[in-house]
Amino acid sequence: MSDQNPVFIPGPTNIPERLRRAIDVPTIDHRSEQFSAMFAPVLSGLKSVLKTGNGEIVLFPASGTGGWEAAITNTLSPGDTVLAARYGMFSHRWIDLCQRHGLNVEIIEEAWGNGAPADRFEEALTADAQHRIKAVLVCHNETATGVRSDIAAIRAALDAAGHPALLFVDGVSSIASMDFRMDEWGVDLAVTGSQKGFMLPAGAAIVGISPKALQAMDKARCPRCYFDFRDMLDANPRGGYPYTPPLNLIAGLNVALEMLLEEGLPNVFARHHRIAEGIRRAASAWGLTLCAASPRLYSETVSALCVPAGFDSGKVVTHAANKYGVAFGVGLGEVAGKVFRIGHLGSMTDVMALSGIATAEMVMADLDYPIALGSGVAAAQDYYRSSRNASKVGAPQAA
Ligand SMILES: *Cc1c(COP(=O)(O)O)cnc(C)c1O
| 249 against 397, higher pLDDT | 249
CB of 192 sitting under 6 A from ligand 1: no
For residues 178 and 169, the answer to whether their CB atoms sit within 8 Å is no
* Angle subtended at Cα 58 by Cα 57 and Cα 59, rounded to the nearest 5 degrees: 125
Task: Indicate the domain borders of the chain.
Answer: 17-261, 265-391
H helices within 118-228, ranges in order?
A: 118-127, 151-160, 211-216
- Give CA separation, 66 vs 7, 83, 137, 205, 269, in Å: 24, 20, 15, 6, 26
Q: What pTM was estimated for this model as a whole?
A: 0.96
**Ligand 1 center from residue 206 Cα (angstroms):** 12
CB of 170 sitting under 6 A from ligand 1: yes
Strand partners, 58: 207
Ligand 1 pocket test target in 7, 90, 200 with most atoms within 8 Å of CB: 90
pLDDT digits (tens, 9 = 90+) for 277-316: 999 999 999 999 999 999 999 999 999 999 999 999 999 9
- Give CA separation, 89 vs 145, 231, 300, in Å: 8, 31, 18
CB of 63 sitting under 6 A from ligand 1: yes
**Ligand 1 center from residue 94 Cα (angstroms):** 9
Distance CA 303, CA 298 (A): 8
pLDDT digits (tens, 9 = 90+) for 318-362: 999 999 999 999 999 999 999 999 999 999 999 999 999 999 999
pLDDT surpassing 80 at residue 394: no
265-391: CATH number: 3.90.1150.10
pLDDT digits (tens, 9 = 90+) for 229-285: 999 999 999 999 999 999 999 999 999 999 999 999 999 999 999 999 999 999 999
DSSP 266-318: HHHHHHHHHHHHHHHHHHHHTTPPBSSSSGGGB-SSEEEEEPPTT--HHHHHH
CB of 90 sitting under 6 A from ligand 1: yes
17-261: CATH number: 3.40.640.10
CB of 355 sitting under 6 A from ligand 1: no
